[in-house]
Amino acid sequence: MQPQVGIQEVRARLANARAVTVLTGAGISADSGVPTFRGADGLWRNFRAEDLATPEAFARDPRLVWEWYNWRREIIVTKKPNPAHYALVILERRCERFWLITQNVDGLHRAAGSRKLSEIHGNIWKVRCTACGQIAENRDVPIALLPACPACSGLLRPHIVWFGESLDAEDLSRSYEAVESCEVMLIIGTSGVVYPAASFAPAAKAAGAFVAEITLDPAPYSETLDASLQGRAKDILPALVE
């Protein structure tokens, strides 16, 4: 186990770092009111995300999966970025080299002004044709339950990486490059159980970075990190970059 350090040390490391990489999960959007996946408020009609966010679930019952995404669209459309999202925009502008990797599909980082980012699990406001593969923005709330592709009439699906699917190769190589070349890595609001995102903290550590997490519940690998700051992202992140 590493001797862990407190918020002042993390702040000093951030202030002096030229290269910073950040990984975010549902916890950063929880402060905007978006339910997390594994929290009790993330349940819809007693389905777990793992029962709906799969290619098999969509093949079996695309209407049911779209109904679930409509429930999530209805929630997310009303939400705004919070001080934690804005703190990361400040960090991006201040750092020589910065990259944000988010597992969130809600688009709140982009809405806050983040530009150097990979949305590695996709975006809830994008759709992709299951027949021709065309990707388009679609902000309908609600979206039609069996939406059709304007180009070929094929069935549209959410442009989201589901359980059992691979991440986009370019996103993945860009993320690993950022993880392995940073001086400081922040891990914010993720339970650290979904791969490959769960491998980023150990990879940054192995490459010699100072790695700190901000979370309500420590992740499986928390003890191996340099710092584990427990609390709400919206309180801790602004204090780290102010």
- Which positions lie near ligand APR, rule CB under 6 A? 25-27, 30-31, 36-39, 49, 103, 121, 189-191, 194, 214-217, 232-233
What are the tokens at 109? 């980082």
Task: State how far the Cα of 175 lies from the Cα of 163, in Å rounded to an integer.
Answer: 19
Q: Is the Cβ of residue 127 or residue 149 nearer to ligand APR in the bound state?
A: 127
Cα–Cα separations (whole angstroms), residue 84 to 20, 89, 214:
16, 9, 11
Q: Which of 160, 144, 64 is nearest to 107 (CA)?
A: 160
Please report how close the Cβ of residue 65 comes to ligand APR at its closest, in angstroms: 14
Please report how close the Cβ of residue 152 comes to ligand APR at its closest, in angstroms: 28
The three-state secondary structure class of 37 is: coil
Q: Is the Cβ of residue 83 or residue 156 nearer to ligand APR in the bound state?
A: 83
What are the tokens at 222? 């928390």
Q: Is the Cβ of residue 35 or residue 209 nearer to ligand APR in the bound state?
A: 35
Please report how close the Cβ of residue 132 comes to ligand APR at its closest, in angstroms: 25
Choose, from 85, 109, 121, 159, the residue flagged as catalytic.
121
Burial of 118 (0-12, 13-18, 19+ CB in 10 A): middle
Q: Is the Cβ of residue 132 or residue 223 nearer to ligand APR in the bound state?
A: 223
Please report how close the Cβ of residue 95 comes to ligand APR at its closest, in angstroms: 21
Residue 109 catalytic? no
What are the tokens at 209? 């970075």
Task: State how far the Cα of 121 lies from the Cα of 124, in Å rounded to an integer.
Answer: 9
Residues forming the active site: 121
